[in-house]
Amino acid sequence: MVKAEIVNGPINFFPSEDNRQQDGAELVFNGRVRATEHGENITALEYEQYEGMAEAELTQLAEEAEKKFPIHDLFCKHRIGKVEVGETSLHVSIWSKHRREGLDAMDFFITELKKRVPIWKWAILEDGSRIPSKCDH
């Protein structure tokens, strides 16, 4: 099963599920806003989306990961709007029989999300100005 959501406001994390008897691995990733961007101190990141397309692409990518890797479920929430330093902007939970396939799926999913999902971010500097934030790694 796949769940993919874009939320405007704090992320309510997906709960851990102790009733999964066939899943030996539950991987959880929380992407948080760092205090610096390109060597500059920042106060927040501001995320924008291509309305109507971002969530559809996020869902499609989650479904692709579920088909490509032997995982059972992939749940994802990505935040838009202003996200303060230290807060979570991305939450992903993956369940799989073993850790390796879950880790591989997580790496694939997050890497492809940054390439394909039309969500853009701006770093808000201490003086209030904004600069584009780009992931180069």
Mean per-residue pLDDT, 111-136: 91
Mean pLDDT of the chain: 95
The pLDDT tens digits of the residues spanning 62-90 come to 999 999 999 999 999 999 999 999 999 99
Residue type, 109: F
pLDDT (tens digit per residue) in 25-74 = 999 999 999 999 988 999 999 999 999 999 999 999 999 999 999 999 99
Residues 76, 67: Cα–Cα separation, whole Å: 16
pTM, two decimals, is 0.93
Of the candidates 47, 49, 12, 13, the one whose C-alpha atom is nearest the C-alpha of residue 28 is 13
pLDDT band at 136 (very low <50, low <70, confident <90, very high): low
First to last CA, the chain: 29
Q: What angle do CA 5, 10, 16 make, to 5 degrees?
A: 65
Query: HSE (CB half, 13 Å, CA atoms) of 38?
Result: 12
Whether domain 2-8+23-132 has CATH 3.90.1530.10: no
> Is residue 137 pLDDT above 60, yes or no?
no
Domain boundaries, the chain: 2-8+23-132
Give the residue from 112, 94, 122 showing the smallest Cα distance to 25: 94
